[in-house]
Amino acid sequence: MAKSPLPNNLRTLIGSTFLDRINDTTNPPLKIGKQIWTTHELASKVGIVHTKAARLLSLAAESIGAKNVKELYEKTSPYTFAGLHGLGETTLYVLWRLFESEGLNPDAWANAGDTDDALVSFRSLKHREQQAEKRTKKDVRRRTKTDAAATAVMRG
């Protein structure tokens, strides 16, 4: 890991361990394909300090198979992320600021996807996805009970 190019007084005052950790490129909090952002870069270039949400975004981008931020932008919409467990408004905020920092238009991205529905809050999108998942599970349980009852009637 490369030493941070920060003044010696800061290194002495804050400590090498801390500075090396926030500039660590071997375990960055945000990685989209081959692009990485250290904790320091997230704060200074992207303007966010939410490293847990950045790590969740990294996992989501990996599961989507994005090779870089531009591809993530082009391959997804807010609806993509609403269906992913563990992601919330903070992760979406990190993504939004990341798009901005890369010169992409997050407003245009937010309007992508299902254009029949009005753009709503991410919390509402997540709620819709969770309700649909509950309905699906409930339907499966109901069909299983109905199938079991029908089989019992047919057997006699």
* pLDDT of 39 above 60: yes
Start-to-end CA span in the chain (Å): 73
Q: Quick one: 81 and 152 in the same domain? A: no
Local structure of residue 6 (DSSP, 8 states): -
For the stretch 58-109, pLDDT in tens is 999 999 999 999 999 999 988 888 888 888 899 999 999 999 999 999 999 9
Q: Quick one: 108 and 96 in the same domain? A: yes
Q: Quick one: 72 and 135 in the same domain? A: no
CB-count burial class (<10 Å; 0-12, 13-18, 19+) for 149: exposed
Instruction: Compute the Cα dihedral for 108, 109, 111, 114 and give only its sign.
Output: positive
Q: Quick one: 53 and 39 in the same domain? A: yes
Structural domain includes residue 141: yes
Q: What is the pLDDT of residue 56?
A: 97
* pLDDT of 29 above 70: yes
Range(s) of the domain holding residue 143: 120-156
Q: Quick one: 139 and 92 in the same domain? A: no
Q: Does pTM top 0.75 for this prediction?
A: no
Q: Quick one: 132 and 108 in the same domain? A: no
Structural domain includes residue 3: no
Structural domain includes residue 96: yes
